[in-house]
Structure 1
């Protein structure tokens, strides 16, 4: 059960969020709508991260799922693991990612994204050698987009966990 009650979502901001979501609101949206300026900005930012970046969907969802695991954000995992699978991520890799298994089952590109996500999430600072590897692998734009994705979804997971959003949603 979330720490705060849902709001009755009405108005222009709620409609913009609904439009991005395909007509419905998530428990996260209902919590964000306690503050319309927050919900509006969040909707714009996360809409860009999810649908306007050139970063490959599988790498985006891999980073998001890794954050969910590291930050114990089960709701985030449940929302994004199916998207990662839909992007072509095999079950054995998903299981290793979720349950702390051997990440050697990942490709070298995937391991690089996981290492970058880990560095940003656990310690904030990305070692120069790892940054250079990501930049070489992805190029400058996708490196910026991966960095923004990791930053944004760390925000999402921390919001979800602190307010206990979706803990009872299965």
Structure 2
């Protein structure tokens, strides 16, 4: 994963100027984020309807699912690696650590095929293989899907698929607009 995105060494801010963060939608986003807006939020606020929908979806994925926190963060961090989204990695690495991911696991996530490496539980390995297939190829092979089904119920499968898709969306937004990484974790 490159330091500042795949489009070169950006030492400047995002490609468009963040908004001032005013209005009802900004307040909804602040509420989810514990009172602060990130640069990502300020960019989304150029389109309040998009920002509102984004806020609702990401809030649900972060705090309204039954997917265990370690699996959620495993997905988010792996998508960040696959899509070269430094902001996403920087914002979620501390959350991943708190959810139980180890230094070794965080290093393995940066490898071409981490699911084959040691250090994963069977469900973590299945989720990693699913994340890679869905992010790289969109279509998920039957064997990869079956491996996930051995560990997750219907609701958790839906939540897994949506988390992979949701954070693919986040990473594409961040990378396309060259949003610089935050100083650390981004709440909410």
Residue 62 of structure 1 corresponds to 74
Residue ranges of structure 1 left out of the alignment (5+ in a row): none
Residues 4-24 of structure 1 deviation map (CA, whole Å, 9 limit, x = unaligned): 011111111000000000000
Q: Which has the higher helix share?
A: 1
Residue ranges of structure 2 left out of the alignment (5+ in a row): 1-12, 184-188
Residue 118 of structure 1 corresponds to 132
Equivalent pairs, count = 169
Residue 152 of structure 1 corresponds to 166
**1:103 CA drift (Å):** 2.5
**1:144 CA drift (Å):** 0.7
Separation in structure 2 between the aligned mates of residue 23 and residue 99 of structure 1, nearest angstrom: 36
> Structure 1 stretch 1-10 or stretch 97-106: which is displaced more?
97-106
Normalising by structure 2, we get a TM-score of: 0.86
Residue 154 of structure 2 corresponds to 140
Alignment of 1:1-170 (within 5 A): 1-100=13-112, 103-167=117-181, 169-170=182-183
Alpha-carbon RMSD across the aligned residues, in angstroms, is: 1.3
Separation in structure 1 between the aligned mates of residue 177 and residue 52 of structure 2, nearest angstrom: 19
Separation in structure 2 between the aligned mates of residue 11 and residue 148 of structure 1, nearest angstrom: 28
Contact 1:93/1:103, CA 8 A, preserved across alignment: no
**1:99 CA drift (Å):** 5.0
Which runs of 4 or more aligned residues in structure 1 lie more than 4 Å from their structure 2 counterparts after TM superposition?
A: 99-102
Separation in structure 1 between the aligned mates of residue 125 and residue 172 of structure 2, nearest angstrom: 23
Normalising by structure 1, we get a TM-score of: 0.95
Contact 1:28/1:166, CA 8 A, preserved across alignment: no
**1:105 CA drift (Å):** 2.3
Residues 45-97 of structure 1 deviation map (CA, whole Å, 9 limit, x = unaligned): 10001000010010000000000000000100001111111011111111121
